[in-house]
């Protein structure tokens, strides 16, 4: 099955890449991660149960809706609470949609065939309870195994961010390994994503299939031959704030690809809580600094 | 943080590897996949909604509880239905636990740090709503990134199956790539898992950290240098039945490691439904054939 060209699809929504570009231009290139750690719930004076989780999530929706380019809920912290936690995630996604704020659901799913199609239907299909504007995907089974998700995303105006090169030290054992033609795995993923975004590349737009590239990977991307500007991929860059990189370092790491970067910060923003107004102010401040450094 | 040695942990439950070995000896080396595809629901005369899903799951629990070594629910097909689908998954896991049948929850999760710890808590912690006896994990972020899950599993008598070498053609682009010292990614994952299972290796037992190795990978494991017998890893081998391999082919593919194999079949068994008794008979028949071929 070949790629569905998002430029020629018949759905109503604009391509995800266009919607993301508009949101980044309006609010700054920042996605705030909603990661309800037990420690963070405690810091907000909330119990580590579905009730506390719901209060946390709704405060985030109130604080961040309309204020930032995107919000990135981390599914693991909802799944910890079982189906009641997943129901809170549904509610958060619905609140963000109602506020017109893009949701990037961080699930890092990756499977094959009809199972991959089921994950795609869970998160990228109109009307699905857990539908988001984009999801994160993991390519250990090969980028090609993600085809059902990439196709469904293209046909519904949604997006995907594929794990490519991450900041954690263990990542190199897979991501730096070289395929038979000498291309590192992370670079091969980037090449494949560039093909997905070919139509967006032609019109100088942001593509709808993104990459996850750590904000503290230093010169690894260049060293491994990832030609990020050529991919037109939005670049989800975790690790801003708590994990070490500042907006200025982001610009240095991403160089010519810096206009593609969607910086991500979670605790760096949410530590301002529990008042929604304080979270909103912290998010806007960081978004402005990201815009200044990356714009 | 170093590996927790499952042999010296203080919890009440026996190591997962021991429990799995006993279950395989008693029932044959077969895990039946519970993959409620829309087509399968339709074939059983059930609606593709949470009601149909629940009927399907409870029939599987009735049919398979006490009849097979393990049951492997595929999370994607429950997540398609949002939190209501996840609630059905919770109920299926509870029914399997009540029947004393091992559950291997197929989620292929993989993340880093506190997020990986949250996934571990979701599925490997006593009392968690979605706790299973074992989960599947994906190592694109490096085997080391899975440490929080491997440690929690060891301390609660649970297990994990790490994706290593899969049958889908796209998998080679990552799994066959070679690290700087020339070791293919899949072989490096296997080596790391062998270290996790070191204590089980010493006492000639089945380890608690398994590998996912496709049943139709032919000689790829040998060609890439995966020394599967040395890992003591239980080998979750999807692809028996509908995807092509028969029990005899399994024995040929896995050779000296065949006693470690936990064959997996979903549609090959569930197509016998919708009557629980028919599903049970089909599962027992296939389990016997797996035992004969692999024992």
| Mean pLDDT computed over B47-58 | 98
| Mean pLDDT computed over B265-289 | 96
**Average pLDDT, whole number, for chain B?**
94
Instruction: Quickly state the pLDDT bin for B181 (edges 50, 70, 90).
Output: very high
CA of A181 vs chain B CAs: smallest distance (Å) = 9
* Contact residues, chain B, for A163 at CB < 8 Å: 140-141
Chains A, B: CB pairs < 8 Å:
192
Residue B244: is its pLDDT beyond 80?
A: no
pLDDT at B2: 42
Facing residues of B136 across strands?
B161
pLDDT at A244: 64
Residue A5: is its pLDDT beyond 80?
A: no
Residues within 8 A of B (CB atoms), A 174-193 only? 174-180, 184-185, 188
Q: Computed over its alpha carbons, how large is the radius of gyration of chain B?
A: 18
More confident residue, A84 or B218: A84
| Mean pLDDT computed over A139-148 | 98
Contact A109 B76 (CB under 8 A): yes
Supply the ipTM of this predicted assembly: 0.95
Instruction: Quickly state the pLDDT bin for B253 (edges 50, 70, 90).
Output: confident
First-to-final CA distance of chain B? 37
Structure tokens at B242: 């509908």
Residue A276: is its pLDDT beyond 60?
A: yes
Indicate the class that CATH gives domain B16-294: alpha beta
* Contact residues, chain A, for B171 at CB < 8 Å: 140-142, 145
* Contact residues, chain A, for B141 at CB < 8 Å: 138, 163, 166, 168, 170-171, 174
CA distance A248 to A290: 8
Q: Which helix (H) or strand (E) holds A242?
A: none
Q: Is the dihedral of CA A103, A108, A112, A115 positive or negative?
A: negative
pLDDT at A215: 79
Question: Does B172 reach chain A within 8 Å, measured CB to CB?
Answer: yes
More confident residue, A249 or B179: B179
Residue B67: is its pLDDT beyond 90?
A: yes
* Contact residues, chain A, for B77 at CB < 8 Å: 115, 118
Q: What confidence tens digit (pLDDT) does each residue in A45-66 have?
A: 999 999 999 999 999 999 999 9
Structure tokens at B117: 């710890």
pLDDT at A3: 47
Structure tokens at A247: 């907006």
Residues within 8 A of B (CB atoms), A 20-49 only? 35, 37
Best CA proximity match to A166, nearest among B208, B113, B215: B113
Interface test with B, best of A90, A91, A174 (most B CBs within 10 A): A174
Question: Does A143 reach chain B within 8 Å, measured CB to CB?
Answer: yes
Least confidently predicted of A244-253, B75-84, B132-141, B178-187: A244-253
Question: Does B109 reach chain A within 8 Å, measured CB to CB?
Answer: yes
* Contact residues, chain B, for A94 at CB < 8 Å: none
Q: What confidence tens digit (pLDDT) does each residue in A65-88 have?
A: 999 999 999 999 999 999 999 999
Residues 6+ apart with CB under 8 A from A64: A32, A34, A71, A96, A101, A279, A280, A283
Contact A170 B113 (CB under 8 A): no
Question: Does A118 reach chain B within 8 Å, measured CB to CB?
Answer: yes
Which residue in the set B121, B171, B179 is minimally distant from A80, CB to CB?
A: B121
Facing residues of A212 across strands?
A163, A236
pLDDT at A203: 95
Instruction: Quickly state the pLDDT bin for B285 (edges 50, 70, 90).
Output: very high
3-state DSSP helix/strand/coil percent for chain B, to nearest 5?
50, 15, 35
Structure tokens at A103: 């949701």
Which residue in the set B106, B111, B185 is minimally distant from A177, CB to CB?
A: B185
Instruction: Quickly state the pLDDT bin for A242 (edges 50, 70, 90).
Output: low
Least confidently predicted of A229-243, B67-81, B204-218: A229-243
Residue A239: is its pLDDT beyond 80?
A: no
SS (H, E, C) A77-146: HHHCCHHHHHHHHHHHHHHHHHCCCEEEEEEEECCCHHHHHHHHHHHHCCCCCCCCCEEEECCCCCHHHH
CA distance B282 to B295: 19
A165 by DSSP, 3-state: which? strand
Question: Does A155 reach chain B within 8 Å, measured CB to CB?
Answer: no
* Contact residues, chain B, for A175 at CB < 8 Å: 140
Question: Does A244 reach chain B within 8 Å, measured CB to CB?
Answer: no
Q: Computed over its alpha carbons, how large is the radius of gyration of chain A?
A: 18
Question: Does A86 reach chain B within 8 Å, measured CB to CB?
Answer: yes
On whether the CB atoms of residues B61 and B283 are closer than 8 A, the answer is no
Residue B9's CB is within 10 A of a number of other CB atoms, namely 15
CA of A212 vs chain B CAs: smallest distance (Å) = 11
Instruction: Quickly state the pLDDT bin for B137 (edges 50, 70, 90).
Output: very high
pLDDT at B215: 80
Any idea which residue has 């100088």 for tokens?
A204
CA of A173 vs chain B CAs: smallest distance (Å) = 6
CA distance A277 to A166: 32
Residue B10: is its pLDDT beyond 80?
A: no
Residue A216: is its pLDDT beyond 90?
A: no
| Mean pLDDT computed over A227-234 | 97
The residues of B assigned a catalytic role are 108
Residue B37: is its pLDDT beyond 60?
A: yes
Contact B173 A80 (CB under 8 A): no
A290 by DSSP, 3-state: which? helix
CA distance A78 to B69: 30
Q: A23-294 belongs to which homologous superfamily?
A: Aldolase class I (3.20.20.70)
| Mean pLDDT computed over B53-69 | 98
If 0-12 CB within 10 Å is exposed, 13-18 middle and 19+ buried, where does residue A7 land?
Answer: middle
Q: Is the peptide bond before B274 cis (omega within 30 degrees of 0)?
A: yes
On whether the CB atoms of residues A17 and A234 are closer than 8 A, the answer is yes
CA distance A56 to A271: 12
């Amino acid at each position: 099955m070949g790629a569905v060209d998002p430029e020629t699809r018949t759905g109503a929504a604009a391509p995800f890449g266009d919607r993301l570009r508009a949101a980044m231009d309006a609010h700054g290139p920042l996605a705030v991660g909603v990661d309800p750690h037990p420690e963070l719930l405690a810091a907000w004076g909330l119990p580590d149960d579905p009730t506390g989780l719901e209060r946390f999530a709704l405060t985030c929706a109130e604080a961040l809706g309309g204020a930032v380019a995107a919000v990135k809920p981390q599914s693991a912290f909802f799944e910890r609470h079982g189906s009641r936690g997943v129901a809170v995630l549904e509610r958060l996604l619905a609140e963000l949609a109602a506020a017109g704020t893009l949701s990037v659901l961080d699930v890092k799913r990756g499977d094959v065939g009809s199972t991959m199609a089921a994950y795609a239907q869970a998160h990228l299909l109109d009307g699905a309870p857990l539908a988001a504007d984009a999801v994160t995907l993991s390519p250990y089974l090969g980028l090609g195994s993600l085809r059902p998700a990439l196709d469904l995303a293209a046909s519904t105006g949604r997006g995907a961010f594929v794990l490519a090169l991450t900041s954690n030290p263990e990542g190199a054992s897979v991501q730096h390994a070289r395929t038979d033609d000498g291309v590192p795995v992370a670079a091969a993923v980037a090449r494949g994503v560039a093909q997905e975004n070919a139509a967006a590349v032609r019109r100088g737009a942001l593509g709808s299939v993104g990459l996850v590239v750590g904000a503290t990977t230093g010169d690894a991307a260049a060293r491994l031959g990832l030609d990020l500007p050529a991919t037109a991929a939005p670049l989800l860059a975790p690790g801003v704030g708590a994990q070490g990189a500042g907006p200025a370092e982001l610009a240095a790491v991403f160089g010519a690809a810096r206009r593609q970067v969607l910086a991500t910060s979670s605790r760096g923003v949410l530590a301002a809580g529990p008042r929604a107004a304080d979270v909103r102010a912290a998010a806007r401040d960081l978004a402005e600094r990201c815009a200044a450094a990356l714009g």
